[in-house]
Structure 1
Amino acid sequence: MSAPVARRTVDGEIIEWVVPPARAVALGLEPHPEGGWYRRTWTAGAAVATDRGERPAATLIYFLLPPGEASAWHVVASDELWLWHGPDPLLLQLGGSGPAPLAGEVIALGPREEAGERAQALVPAGVWQRTLPSDGETLVSCVVSPGFSFDDFRLGEEHNP
């Protein structure tokens, strides 16, 4: 069993101590402030100007949700494309683009198209999103364009210290 690691806020304050699941250790993932585990795997070499400053044209992360975990409501200032890898389905809920999230459409990412699941989904810039807990483990990749910066990320109020 791995030693506990700190899940931190964007500002570096410790939220909680968590034990990394085996797949997080194998992939070199760290706890994400919103929940789950992540690691940036690619940053585009080209940069683009945004109203928030210069950003990479795109970034890519692994994002792992172990059984029972979910991500908190959060909003990103860029488009985010979710790419499902499995093994289990993931439920991604959208919450509108208002000042606070309102539970809305649930998108099922997974292998069973006949059951309404799909392998990828787009969350438009400025739309609240969260994942819902499940009994299984899910690995996805998330492409953000223009590239992700924690300066462009906001958690729902109930998760701000």
Structure 2
Amino acid sequence: MLNAAQLIQQYNLQPHPEGGWFKETYKCHEYIPASALPKRFGSNRAFSTAIYFLLEQGNFSAFHRIKSDECWHFYAGDPLRVYVLQPNGHLDIIDLGNDIFQGQQFQYIVPANCWFASRPLPGSSFCFVGCTVAPGFDFADFEMADAASLIAKYPQYQNIIKELCR
């Protein structure tokens, strides 16, 4: 059986600042000039980027946001729960996995500028997913959430915010 340690070794995954393990697998060699992008981007961006991302039970991807849409793809392992705080105050909860009869999805798009976090579902050993970002991801576009500030904006979700912030 496939396990997390094998995937980490096979794909040379590295620790991610938000939690979990990752490796950039694609970065387009062509760039969109900053003048053609919305003002929220301060410089040129690759057309698109992609990563592998792995979370083991007991770990989580802390609330963060980026300036681009991010498409999550389920690959292997057990289900992953993604939490997305929408600007209108609604919390979307999406389960990525391969059991479509339990409502799990193979893909989900996190809209640009939404705060989001993820963690393995209870009973999940590990989750191996991919994330594709367009315009391409740049750490200049990455912002980790401050729990107090996020709770002030979304007080109805303070428990989940406290659980999924670092």
* Unmatched segments (≥5 aa) in structure 2: 148-164
Question: Partner amino acid for 2:10?
Answer: A
Structure 2 counterpart of 1:42: 26
Please identify runs of 4+ aligned residues in structure 1 that moved more than 2 A. Answer: 20-23, 132-135
For residues 77-106 of structure 1, give each alpha carbon's deviation from its aligned partner in whole angstroms, at most 9, with x where no partner exists.
0010000002211100101248xxx67111
TM-score, normalised with respect to structure 1: 0.79
Residue 11 of structure 2 is aligned to residue 27 of structure 1: yes
Higher helix share: 2
Structure 2 counterpart of 1:82: 72
Question: Partner amino acid for 2:71?
Answer: L
Higher strand share: 1
Task: Give the count of matched residue pairs.
Answer: 138
Q: How many Å separate the matches in 2 of 1:61 and 1:46? A: 17
Q: 1:93 aligns with which of 76, 83, 95?
A: 83
Percent sequence identity over matched residues? 33
Q: How many Å separate the matches in 2 of 1:58 and 1:25? A: 25
Q: How many Å separate the matches in 1 of 2:125 and 2:78? A: 5
Displacement of 1:45 in angstroms is 1.8
Q: Is the 8 A contact 1:93 1:103 kept in 2?
A: no
Q: Is the 8 A contact 2:120 2:126 kept in 1?
A: no
Q: How many Å separate the matches in 2 of 1:150 and 1:96? A: 22
Q: Is the 8 A contact 1:21 1:66 kept in 2?
A: no
Structure 2 counterpart of 1:156: 145
Q: How many Å separate the matches in 1 of 2:56 and 2:131? A: 16
Q: How many Å separate the matches in 2 of 1:133 and 1:120? A: 16
Question: CA RMSD for the aligned pairs?
Answer: 1.9
Moved more, 43-52 or 27-36: 43-52
For residues 131-154 of structure 1, give each alpha carbon's deviation from its aligned partner in whole angstroms, at most 9, with x where no partner exists.
024332111110000000010010
Question: Partner amino acid for 2:84?
Answer: L
Q: Is the 8 A contact 2:49 2:132 kept in 1?
A: yes
* Unmatched segments (≥5 aa) in structure 1: 1-19
Residue 124 of structure 2 is aligned to residue 140 of structure 1: no
For residues 24-77 of structure 1, give each alpha carbon's deviation from its aligned partner in whole angstroms, at most 9, with x where no partner exists.
122101100000000100011221132321000000000000122110000010
